[in-house]
Amino acid sequence: MSSHEAATTLCEIGHRFYARGWVLGTSGNFSAVLSRDPFELAITASAVAKGDLRPSHILHCNDQGRSVCDTPGTPSAEALLHIAIARRRHAGAVLHTHSVWSTMLSDACAAGGGVAIEGYEMLKGLAGVTTHEHREWIPILENDQDMPRLARRVVETLGEHPDTHAFLLRRHGLYTWGESLADAERHVEILEFLLEAVGRTSAVGGASWRY
């Protein structure tokens, strides 16, 4: 993916996600891999409202999360998490949202270590899933402002759960990824739907969300 295409698409995703209430204020961060050798990532700048994203808000960083472009701004503070995911999953894109339901469930289900979702037809929108009988386990990690330490925990978690399509940071939000930005965006849409469905089902007296 060219840097121009990445910047344009990341901005479009930001506008769409903002309109759906998934990245209000300056929350959320998005990235796309531009090169693997040497590693280079296009990533949203820190403290920028995603509803107002412009190509000038998309920076390039190296495998240490440091900017390698002349564009003003600082790469997202969570760049190291994006890099860890891109490398561990060989993903082409990583998207992070802060929706109400993902945040609520990340706290409500924290004691159980994650959220289990099964039986929903929408699960078939996840890469490699061909049946509603699939059981998706979404691990929950404690939030941490020490990004190198949190990145190491992300790598450990992805190693422990090689089939998961996402994880949650407690009281923070959803991280998911894909081979391309289109795949990652589809995963956000599917997972946000499923998390809301699980939450609403519990709220109206259905199955418990505490797995």
27: CB partners within 8 A, 6+ apart: 50, 97, 98, 173
pLDDT at residue number 122: 98
Cis bond leading into 139, ω under 30°? no
The pLDDT, as a whole number, for residue 72 is 79
CATH of the domain spanning 3-201: 3.40.225.10
Supply the pTM of this predicted model. Answer: 0.94
Residues of the chain with pLDDT under 50: 210-211
**What residue spans define the domains of the chain?**
3-201
Task: State residue 211's pLDDT score.
Answer: 47
